[in-house]
Amino acid sequence: DDDDDDDAKEEDTVKYAKQVINLGSGYDTSWWCLVGNNASSRDGKEESTKRSRVKWYDVDFAEVTRRKIKTIEKHEALREPLGVYHFERDGSELRSTSGYNLVSADLRDAEEIKEILTEARVDWQLPTLFVTEVALSYLNGEKCEKALRMCATFNGESSNSNNGSKDRNTGVANRAIVSYEAMRLNDEFGRRMCRNVREQRGTPFLALEEENGSRVDCASVEAMFLRCGFDSVKCRKMTECQDVLLSREEIYRAERLEMLDEREEFNLIQSHYGVSVAVRGDYFARKYRRWLMHSS
């Protein structure tokens, strides 16, 4: 309608520098943290927060996005940073003039995600960071790789554009993904973890259950990202992230928040989860250089 057209025109006046696409986002509130607009910090900076230079897309199932929209509507601190907003697709999606968008799609269908994100005005030529947090673990190997290939290579309708965000060597826009997921490690704990998730939650870790799959360990995860079109990748177990990448002060601060009685069990669980950073193009290769080059 006319209001939607006005919103689109207003958004077009904003020059975004980059964008984030959070796949399987659930009720994540990272965008609100990014713009820094909450009930305790309203000091006349509303216009700058509404004009964040990062365009953001949270993506999840329609039933999840509808519940998230209801929560947003109930709280002024969540509504206010959005600026002018409207709903689409039977109330399962939200578009705003602030750059925040809530999109309903099934991560198991990469072709659907391409179409829906393009309809939601994703600019495939901007440097784009994808984020997943225990979302790819629920996909089987084939569907997981299709989703990752989309993240690495899909350029929408504008693949012939000469936009400066494009990698000169490949013609593909700069992409990166930060992915926190489970790994089986082919040990008894990993197999038991898979059984418990299947039997107790009814939502199995399909990627981990494949005997020779792509989520067995860090090496298999890295091979998968490279196979799907990324130039460079580094996967680290959470135990390595804690022991190597965090300072003693940060570890001490975290331990003071909640004391751990079973340190060995905690470390065992942590060893079966990892953070992967994969990049394509020069822009993100520079941004994540330390992560990609750091040796444990």
pLDDT values of the chain reduced to their tens digit, one per residue, 296 residues:
545 555 555 555 567 889 999 999 999 999 999 888 433 444 544 444 444 589 999 999 999 999 999 999 999 999 999 999 999 988 999 999 999 999 999 999 999 999 999 999 999 989 999 999 999 999 999 999 999 999 999 987 544 444 445 543 345 679 999 999 999 888 899 999 999 999 998 999 998 888 766 788 999 999 999 999 999 999 999 999 888 788 889 888 888 887 777 788 888 999 999 999 999 999 999 999 989 986 54
Q: Which residue has the tokens 């060995």?
A: 264
Question: What span, in angstroms and rounded, lies between the C-alpha atoms of 146 and 152?
Answer: 10
> What is the structure's pLDDT at 36?
80
For residue 270, CA distances in Å to 31, 135, 172, 239 come to: 26, 17, 35, 6
Q: Where are the alpha helices (DSSP H) in 52-108?
A: 62-74, 76-79
Question: Phi and psi at residue 101, in whole multiples of 5°?
Answer: -140, 140
Question: What span, in angstroms and rounded, lies between the C-alpha atoms of 103 and 83?
Answer: 17
Reported as half-sphere exposure (CB side, CA atoms, 13 A), residue 1 has a value of 4
> What is the structure's pLDDT at 68?
97
> What is the structure's pLDDT at 10?
52
> What is the structure's pLDDT at 42?
47
The pTM of this model reads 0.85
List Cβ<8 Å contacts ≥24 apart for 40-47.
42/80, 46/80, 46/81
Q: Which helix (H) or strand (E) holds 178?
A: strand 175-182
